[in-house]
């Protein structure tokens, strides 16, 4: 407890990464903001109980983010997400104000990530948010090796998705 | 495609993914907005705990400090914590006065201490400094009486404390207004005279205004819906619930303590969120205008559709404690405030003041304005067969700590 870094340091360090992770899961920057806010609100409440010896701050925060994202999909159902996927509704139509300010490159690539099956999407998002395969495995309740395999399958699926789009 | 080419392609894709995740960041301002929201949602006890943690860290950082010096420092810090946080050291704590108390002020303002001599509030019927006439007042309700009266007091006023916090805020700028509008996703449309900004979305027009000096009025925002604003869908919900749904959907739920009051007597139905400010001893006081009407935020609903939302613009505030006058002094000041009868030979109606409470009033003062405590006395009077309410406001901060 005594050596724990102030929560604000954690917040400043991880806000961007958590946002990127959530943003890759959900369709709009508005949803990403709401979920990110929920993540850090929850983390803020739970920080006094955080045990650094049991897990890293990154894994702890990403676990909260993952749960919040799953809650989001549970709450709103996948209907809306599927609709966006089917219609390929561009972000700009949904969220012009957010898009104008959001700092995001490779938007099309992230849109492809968002369309992957849930576990593949999760593996790519967690891995490229800076987590080790061991941490990804723990979060996804599988072994490190299984996390690696899942990730590599996800990247190949992503490549196929990008290829199909390019060929369409 | 050879296996090697495939590997290269996958590696390139992974590099793009790295870039994609590294460059995906929230919009400007989101980080600070969220941090402020988190701060405002903190329980009071955790804020105090942090203050202690900071204190102990400070001691650990200077191990050579003799024990006696540490003991002296502790006494000082305890004093600062008790005074600075006097508004929250009460049973249950103050749940939220976001952007409205010292607790939410920037760290360097947390122990702002004395603001110096405060400007005096000027109430209806009193002469303002340097002015000859009476002060403009906010529009009176039909049931209020603001005329001269012969005042007597039969109530009981017992204030258990001798100090009360005074809150101060910096006058909001166009930047403040733009940030607020941005948080709602409302792009700037222009800056009409008298407003910090006007913003438009497909559903509504937002106008943001700074402090108004006369009659005193807090920085505020106004949301005027247009015809595309849909009714709020919430089966079985009453007006207060509908208003809350709308506010929640637009991240406008007040971050300060409030009491909700619904006026369903007409169309639109009005839902009021009356702002309260924390006082020592676990009590709170309403924020009132110069007529004594409580205010904070109002949502007007017509057929479940929000037609107007007007609320206090969130501003950061710091606080300092000031000595206040005694109950007896307050009663004497109230009774002494009887206004002269405008026509000689006519008698002012007799008003028996029966109730009194501590309230807060806005005192505009240029770059920085204040919310200062005041005593509000009230009683009823019959005028032409109608029962009207007479209110008398008296500044509560000790005159020695105010400018004349």
Secondary structure (DSSP) of B42-110: S-HHHHHHHHHHHHHHHHHH-TTS-HHHHHHHHHHHHHHHHHHTTTT-STT----BTTSSGGGS-GGGT
Q: Determine what percent of chain A is predicted with pLDDT higher than 70.
A: 77
3-state secondary structure of B255: coil
Cα B337 off chain centre by: 27
In this complex, do A101 and B182 lie within 8 Å of one another by their Cβ atoms? Answer: yes
In this complex, do A124 and B17 lie within 8 Å of one another by their Cβ atoms? Answer: yes
Helix (H) or strand (E) holding A55, with range, is: none
Q: Count of CB atoms within 10 A of residue B187's CB?
A: 15
The alpha carbon of residue B61 is apart from the nearest alpha carbon of chain A, in Å, by: 13
Q: B79 vs B50, B84, B86, CA distance in Å? A: 16, 8, 10
Q: Count of CB atoms within 10 A of residue B398's CB?
A: 16
Q: Is A102 on the interface with B (CB under 8 A)?
A: yes
Contacts of B13 (CB under 8 A, 6+ apart): A155, A158, A159, A162
Q: Is A37 on the interface with B (CB under 8 A)?
A: yes
Q: Kind of pairing, strands B386-395 and B197-200? A: unpaired
In this complex, do B24 and A20 lie within 8 Å of one another by their Cβ atoms? Answer: yes
* Cα A28 to Cα B82: distance, rounded to the nearest angstrom: 45
In this complex, do B20 and A48 lie within 8 Å of one another by their Cβ atoms? Answer: no
Mean pLDDT of A73-92: 53
Q: Is the pLDDT of residue B284 over 90?
A: no
The alpha carbon of residue A151 is apart from the nearest alpha carbon of chain B, in Å, by: 11
Mean per-residue pLDDT over chain B, rounded: 77
pLDDT of residue B245: 87
Residue A106 banded pLDDT, cuts 50, 70, 90 = confident
Judging contacts by C-beta atoms under 8 Å, the chain B residues touching residue A65 are none
Mean pLDDT of B225-248: 86
Between A and B, how many residue pairs show a Cβ–Cβ distance under 8 A?
104
Q: Is the pTM of the predicted complex or chain greater than 0.90?
A: no
Residue of chain A nearest B32, judged by CA positions: A12
pLDDT of residue A146: 93
> Helices B67-84 and B44-61, interaxial angle, to 10°?
160
Q: Is the pLDDT of residue B181 over 90?
A: yes
Mean pLDDT of A149-160: 93
Contacts of B58 (CB under 8 A, 6+ apart): none
Residue of chain A nearest B50, judged by CA positions: A6
Q: Is A114 on the interface with B (CB under 8 A)?
A: no
Place of tokens 């009663």: B331
Contact B243, B315 (CB under 8 A): no
Q: Is the pLDDT of residue A50 over 60?
A: yes
Cα B157 off chain centre by: 25
Burial B313-335 (b: 16+ CB within 10 A, else e): bbbbbbbbbbebbeeeebbebbb
Q: Which residue, among B298, B249, B292, has the nearest Cα to B270 in the 3D structure?
A: B298
Q: What is the ipTM of this complex?
A: 0.82
Judging contacts by C-beta atoms under 8 Å, the chain B residues touching residue A109 are 16-17, 20
Q: Is the pLDDT of residue A154 over 70?
A: yes
Task: Report the alpha-carbon angle B323-B326-B332, nearest 5.
Answer: 130
* Cα B276 to Cα B284: distance, rounded to the nearest angstrom: 6
Nearest by CB: A41 against B21, B27, B41: B41
Which of A105, A121, A126 should we substitute to test contact with B (largest number of B Cβ atoms within 10 Å)?
A105
């Amino acid at each position: 407890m005594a050596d724990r870094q102030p929560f604000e340091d954690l917040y400043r360090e991880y806000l961007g990464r958590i946002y990127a992770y959530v943003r890759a899961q959900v369709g709009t920057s508005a949803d990403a903001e709401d979920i990110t806010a929920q993540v850090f609100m929850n983390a803020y409440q739970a920080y006094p109980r955080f045990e650094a010896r049991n897990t890293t701050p990154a894994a702890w925060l990403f676990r909260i983010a993952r749960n919040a994202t799953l809650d989001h999909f549970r709450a709103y159902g996948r209907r809306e997400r599927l609709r966006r996927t089917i219609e390929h509704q561009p972000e700009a139509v949904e969220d012009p104000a957010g898009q104008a300010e959001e700092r995001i490159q490779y938007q099309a690539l992230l849109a492809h990530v968002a369309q992957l099956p849930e576990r593949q999407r999760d593996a790519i998002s967690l891995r490229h948010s800076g987590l080790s395969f061991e941490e990804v495995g723990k979060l996804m309740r599988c072994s490190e090796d299984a996390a690696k395999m899942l990730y590599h399958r996800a990247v190949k699926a992503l490549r196929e998705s990008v290829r199909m789009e390019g060929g369409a | 495609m050879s296996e090697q080419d495939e590997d290269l392609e996958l590696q390139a894709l992974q590099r793009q993914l790295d870039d994609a995740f590294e460059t995906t960041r929230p919009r400007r301002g989101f980080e600070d907005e969220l941090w402020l929201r988190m701060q405002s949602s903190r329980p009071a006890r955790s804020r105090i705990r942090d203050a202690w943690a900071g204190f102990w860290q400070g001691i650990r950082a200077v191990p050579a400090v003799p024990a006696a010096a540490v003991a002296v420092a502790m006494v000082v810090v305890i004093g600062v914590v008790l005074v600075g946080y006097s508004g929250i050291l009460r049973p249950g704590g103050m749940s939220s006065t976001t952007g409205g108390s010292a607790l939410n002020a920037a760290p360097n303002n947390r122990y702002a201490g004395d603001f110096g001599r405060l400007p005096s509030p000027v109430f209806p019927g009193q002469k303002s400094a340097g002015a000859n006439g009476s002060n403009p007042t906010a529009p009176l309700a039909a049931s209020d009486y603001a005329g001269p009266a012969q005042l007597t007091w039969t109530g009981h006023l017992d204030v258990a404390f001798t100090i009360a916090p005074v809150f101060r805020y910096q006058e909001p700028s166009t930047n403040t207004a733009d940030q607020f509008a941005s948080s709602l996703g409302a792009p700037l449309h222009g800056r009409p005279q008298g407003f910090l900004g006007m913003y438009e979305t497909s559903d509504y027009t937002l106008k943001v205004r700074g402090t108004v000096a006369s009659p005193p009025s807090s920085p505020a925002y106004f949301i005027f819906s247009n015809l595309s604003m849909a009714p709020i869908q919430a089966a079985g919900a009453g007006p207060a619930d509908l208003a809350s749904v709308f506010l929640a959907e637009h991240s406008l739920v007040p971050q300060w303590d409030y009491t909700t009051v619904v006026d369903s007597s007409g169309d639109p139905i009005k839902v009021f969120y009356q702002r309260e400010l924390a006082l020592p001893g676990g009590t709170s006081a309403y924020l009132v205008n110069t007529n004594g009407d409580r205010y904070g935020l109002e949502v007007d609903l017509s057929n479940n559709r929000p037609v107007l939302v007007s609320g206090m613009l969130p501003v950061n505030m710091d606080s300092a404690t000031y000595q206040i006058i005694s109950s007896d002094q307050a009663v004497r000041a109230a009774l002494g405030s009887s206004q002269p009868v405008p026509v000689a030979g006519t008698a002012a109606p007799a008003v028996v003041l029966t109730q009194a409470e501590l309230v807060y009033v806005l005192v505009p003062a240029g770059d920085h304005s204040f919310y200062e405590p005041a005593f509000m006395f009230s009683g009823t009077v019959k005028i032409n067969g109608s029962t009207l309410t007479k209110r008398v406001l008296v500044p509560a901060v000790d005159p020695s700590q105010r400018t004349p």
